[in-house]
Structure 1
Amino acid sequence: MNRTSRLCRTVAAVSAACALWSSAHAQAPVTYKVIGQPAATGLVQKNVEKPFFDDFAARTGLNIQADYKPVDQLGIKDTEQLRVMKAGLFDIVSLRVSQNSRDEPTLLGLDLVGAAPDYATARKVYDAYKGVLDTRLQKQFQVKLLGAWPFGPQILFCKKPVASLADLKGLKVRTYDQNLSKFMESVGATPVPLSFTEVHQSLSLGVVDCAITGPSSANSSGWPEVTTHQYGLGVQMAVNAYAISMKAWNKLKPEEQAKLQAAFTKLTDDIWAYSQELTIDAMDCNTGKPSCKLNKPYKLVDSPLKEADKKTLTDAVARISVPTWAEICDKANKSCSADWKATAGKVLGIQ
């Protein structure tokens, strides 16, 4: 074998080795660090969200694994999710919208008190507003919105007889954002901001008389053990969102971004449907109806909705919710309320 042949073989061997190394390196799995919904919130987290992230590579069609942990098991407050994302500590977050609205008031435009009392309206608001919110989150926190979904109508659970909003006068009511607190004040209640995990004990000890959450979340966390009445006036829809850091997003090729977005669109669509199913069932389960199937049966008193309370809630959107929120949001983001009125406000007929 002459010198040229030996050199060619050597070059070929090195090239082959480099190709194998490059292939192996390219196929090495990436792991995303993911903040999930609190495990205490119940069946959406347990039966839909967690399985999605546990099987992340298969669900997305990408060579990416997910290191998924619920926020209540991380030692991170659910009000700090955007901050830790901006700091680069996590790649994807299951974002608690109302809880993070103090850091970014624009978020609350998805879920103003009284604006979206049902699933169909909430979906219209999200579809209209998502572009505005995505742009803002990218600019302020370097995260991209991948989708949003609701836990469902947020209703009252009380340890005292409550059959109307008028019965809340003088009572201490757990709230979770400033918009809801302002509405509770307007009907004579005293708002008490508490995280979800603090509520059961606070009800038990009398720190609060009532608390607001979705029927299924209340059921999963045992609130009917420490309350007696359920009043089904849905003041908000408890919208939550998925967001990815722009750093992680920008590392993906366009076709990979499309796959990831498609997977999250399917996930959020699945949760919209499942949430509605859970809400109907939990309303029955909380009051011990035979139709209860998915949640745990309890024996709360379910007070019929008052038409006057529905009107009070509807009137509160233009009178309380939008002005209160706009004042705060426009200070942080000067086009905030104008952007909302041009999108979500337009589909709701609120200008």
Structure 2
Amino acid sequence: MLTRTALVTAVSAALMASAAQASSLSLQVLGQPAGSGLIAQQKEQPFFNNLAEHTGLDINVQYLPVDVAGVPDTDGLRVLRSGLFDIVSLRGPQVSRDEPSILGLDLIGLNTSFEAGREHVDAFYDYVDSRLQERFNAKLLGTWPAGPQVIFCRGEIGGLDDLRGKRVRVGDQSAANFVGQLGATGISMPFGDVQQSLSRGVIDCAITGPASANSGGWPEATTTVLPIALQLAINGYAINLDTWNSMTEEQQGKLETAIAGLSDEIWAYSEELYEDAMRCNAGETPCEYGKPYSLTEVPVTDEDLAKVAAAVEEVSLPIWARQCNAAAADCEAVWRDTVGQKLGL
């Protein structure tokens, strides 16, 4: 009898241990570049390093910035599909080359404010998620903005017309098309290469958010900033569907809620960083998060604002729609029924 009791106890203990092991999660997370700025350093990495605390789940996370992992930031969706990482912090402009619908979240001229960006991203979110699930075996868990993308130049410029003939680093094809219409040459280049390329005169100007530029030392190689918001550089978090489907409903719910909370936090933080970085880059105070520089801030004219506003219908949308429709026949139609309706197109 004692032997039977001992056996039952041993089997029960083994089953409990097996169940505990099954309930624990181990996630490989590919993050934003280490040098891309305070969002990655102060929000994203601490969140994933403490994911168990944020979710209340038994989770072990290995977080690696994309540049530390040696993975090109353009390969985020391919990495997800391969299963090499469970969760990827997607750099929207870069991975949009593999999935054009992502660019529909942030066409040039579409999101000239945080408020507009949130509305337009929410409208097209479900469609982008469906495309990632279909083509890359990945589920979208949240989106957030790196911040308004403005123009930094080595020499003096007075407005958008002065970009003619210049070589401009761009983040995505929509920006390349826009500067091309202005007579400039759009050049795609990893963030980490931009500061040196500006210093050496390989490029004349470059587009990014003020906080990222400050973190990357761009003001050391430039003299002028044109603070006209072209887009918001929408990024996001996505999880491999095999990993997602291996989780319980409770695990899925807690993880999704936690990452949605992180995304909301970054939306607010991004706006705070933008305002502070603009002051820092121009040598104004208060400068709380960045390094002070002395860039010349060019006044934005009504003429330039009109060019950016018109870019959606005249440049961004027509070119993007052809690319996206080639990948998915319903892409433009869904965009017009969602984002387009909000714009009155």
- Whole-Å Cα distance in 2 between the matches of residues 43 and 175 of structure 1? 21
Is residue 2:235 matched to residue 1:262? no
1:183-198 matches, within 5 Å, as: 183-198=178-193
Q: Please, which of 4, 7, 27 is the counterpart of residue 11 of structure 1? A: 4
The CA deviation string for residues 25-69 of structure 1, in whole angstroms up to 9 with x for no partner, is: 332342101100111111000000000011011111111121000
CA contact under 8 A between 1:129 and 1:344: conserved in structure 2?
yes
Is residue 2:229 matched to residue 1:240? no
Is residue 2:300 matched to residue 1:300? no
User: Aligned letter for 1:21?
Assistant: A
User: Aligned letter for 1:24?
Assistant: A
Question: What's 1:286 paired with?
Answer: 281
Deviation of 1:292 (Å): 1.3
The CA deviation string for residues 3-38 of structure 1, in whole angstroms up to 9 with x for no partner, is: xxx3xx433322322222222233234210110011
Is residue 2:55 matched to residue 1:60? yes
The CA deviation string for residues 140-162 of structure 1, in whole angstroms up to 9 with x for no partner, is: 11100000000110000100101
The CA deviation string for residues 136-181 of structure 1, in whole angstroms up to 9 with x for no partner, is: 1111111000000001100001001012001111111001211110
Q: Provide the TM-score with structure 2 as the length reference.
A: 0.97
- Whole-Å Cα distance in 2 between the matches of residues 55 and 15 of structure 1? 38
Change over 3 Å in CA distance of 1:126–1:12 after alignment to 2: farther
- When the two chains are superposed, the root-mean-square deviation of aligned CA atoms in Å is 1.0
- Whole-Å Cα distance in 2 between the matches of residues 206 and 228 of structure 1? 13
The CA deviation string for residues 294-348 of structure 1, in whole angstroms up to 9 with x for no partner, is: 1110000001111100100111100110110000110011111111111122222
Question: What's 2:130 paired with?
Answer: 135
Deviation of 1:252 (Å): 1.4
Instruction: Describe the SS at the equivalent of 2:329.
Output: coil
CA contact under 8 A between 2:155 and 2:222: conserved in structure 1?
yes
- Whole-Å Cα distance in 2 between the matches of residues 110 and 139 of structure 1? 18
User: Aligned letter for 1:201?
Assistant: Q
1:303-322 matches, within 5 Å, as: 303-322=298-317
Is residue 2:37 matched to residue 1:42? yes
Q: Please, which of 80, 83, 103 is the counterpart of residue 85 of structure 1? A: 80
- Whole-Å Cα distance in 1 between the matches of residues 122 and 225 of structure 2? 31
- Whole-Å Cα distance in 1 between the matches of residues 7 and 125 of structure 2? 51
Question: What's 1:329 paired with?
Answer: 324
CA contact under 8 A between 2:276 and 2:290: conserved in structure 1?
yes
Deviation of 1:84 (Å): 1.4
CA contact under 8 A between 2:171 and 2:208: conserved in structure 1?
no
- Whole-Å Cα distance in 2 between the matches of residues 13 and 121 of structure 1? 66
- Whole-Å Cα distance in 1 between the matches of residues 4 and 116 of structure 2? 65
The CA deviation string for residues 195-235 of structure 1, in whole angstroms up to 9 with x for no partner, is: 11110111011010000000000000100000000110111
Q: Please, which of 334, 340, 349 is the counterpart of residue 335 of structure 2? A: 340
Question: What's 1:94 paired with?
Answer: 89
- Whole-Å Cα distance in 2 between the matches of residues 247 and 19 of structure 1? 30
Question: What's 2:13 paired with?
Answer: 20
- Whole-Å Cα distance in 2 between the matches of residues 33 and 19 of structure 1? 31
Runs of at least 4 residues off by over 6 Å: none
Q: Give the gaps of 5 or more residues in structure 1.
A: 1-5
Deviation of 1:190 (Å): 1.1
CA contact under 8 A between 1:27 and 1:63: conserved in structure 2?
no
Instruction: Describe the SS at the equivalent of 1:41.
Output: coil
The number of residue pairs the alignment matches comes to: 343
Is residue 2:163 matched to residue 1:168? yes
User: Aligned letter for 2:244?
Assistant: W
Q: Please, which of 115, 119, 132 is the counterpart of residue 114 of structure 2? A: 119
Instruction: Describe the SS at the equivalent of 1:173.
Output: strand
